[in-house]
Amino acid sequence: MIRLNMPYTDGRELEEIAQVLSTGFLTQGPKTAEFERRLAAFIGSRYGYAMSSCTTALHLALVVAGVKAGDEVLVPDFTFPATGNVVVQLGAVPVLVDIDLETFTVDVADLERRVTPRTRAVIPVHTFGCSADMDPIMRVAAACGIVVIEDAACAIGTTYRDRYCGTIGQMGCFSFHPRKVITTGEGGMITTDDEEISRRIQLLRSHGGVRVGGRYEYQEAGFNYRLSDVQGAIGVAQMEKLPALLASKRAMAADLRSRLSDTSGITPPAEPRWGGHIYQSFVVLVDEGLDRDRIIAFMREHGVETTLGTYALHDQPFFQREYGYRAGQLPQSHAAFTRAMTLPLYPQLTDDDLDVIAATLRAAVGSQ
């Protein structure tokens, strides 16, 4: 079976973990701080703060942005549910926005139409490692006084024009889940250039405490969103590999796209006009009239693990029940939810593996 994904690790992770274990200091500490510095330096951010996941990073970013119960937050509809769930958990209202089907990122015109006096923030998602079109998003946000929190879960190393994702809005949130380009097992990070935002993140991610003399003084009812030093050590080793992993992803995406050039019935992922796609996931769009789920099942039966792209939130029972959405109400997102499919793409794949993936997809489409 060609697996959907495999994280890339070697002996360096074990070396870094061994250093942490030898100190007996396993909670958040110097290795996590080193990981934070390396990632922030890589993307050109003043500050980076490791978190227990990208979900907790997004949640804390909304808290720091001042989002409260009853506020509205604009959320692209085609995304993993965590992007919407963090809004719900604050008692705020996720306002779901349709997408551009070519890039799977937010439709800026639809986003602008959905701004109201209650809109407090927007969370553009850099879907599958493809940057959202940030310039017009930032113009809308500036005109309306909206905080921009980038969901860069899939986008470590993605650029928008000449800037790295995670440095364009007021805050950026990254994921280090095993399906991402680099991993710490679980984990996330918030980046920002704003000194006051930085101070608030530091305070709130660790119970709201500030060290005064030999003890802590608790100034806020904060959270326990820290990343352990064991995970930070893995992150340090992974950051050493990041440039090579990004180059490998892009090269393999080009190779797979070439192999699929004569495959009817599917559209490979597009390079946006602003550039920067890192292909965290290689997601193709199946033509209307074909059964995407049958194609997935066929490929798995023939030794290639595949899955859907991601979820249309408005098609999910929770968002329909709580906010009155109807299936298909956001047509482009609905099309992506029913027709997008993720193919394997990671450095351990060989040329022969890419041949098998392409041939199996052609056979799967042809079987319909």
Q: Along the 368 residues of the chain, how does pLDDT read in single tens digits?
A: 999 999 999 999 999 999 999 999 899 999 999 999 999 999 999 999 999 999 999 999 999 999 999 999 999 999 999 999 999 999 999 999 999 999 999 999 999 999 999 999 999 999 999 999 999 999 999 999 999 999 999 999 999 999 999 999 999 999 999 999 999 999 999 999 999 999 999 999 999 999 998 899 999 999 999 999 999 999 999 999 999 999 999 999 999 999 999 999 999 998 999 988 999 999 999 999 999 999 999 999 999 999 999 999 999 999 999 999 999 999 999 999 999 999 999 999 999 999 999 999 999 999 98
Ranges for all domains in the chain classified under CATH 3.40.640.10: 11-236
Of these residues, 31, 68, 180, 241, which one is catalytic? 180
Pairing type for strands 188-192 and 171-175 reads antiparallel
Q: What pLDDT does residue 276 have?
A: 87
The pTM score is 0.97
The third-level CATH classification (topology) of the domain covering 11-236 is Aspartate Aminotransferase; domain 2 (3.40.640)
Residue partners of 29: CB distance under 8 A and separation at least 6: 20, 229, 232
CATH level 3 topology of 242-366: Aspartate Aminotransferase, domain 1 (3.90.1150)
Where in the chain are all domains bearing CATH 3.90.1150.10? 242-366
For this structure, is 249 an active site residue? no
Q: Identify the pLDDT of residue 228.
A: 98
**pLDDT at residue 214, as a whole number:** 87
Query: Taken in order 126, 127, 133, 137, is the CA torsion positive or negative?
Result: negative
How confident is the model at residue 35, as a pLDDT? 98
The two structure tokens encoding residue 162: 């000449």
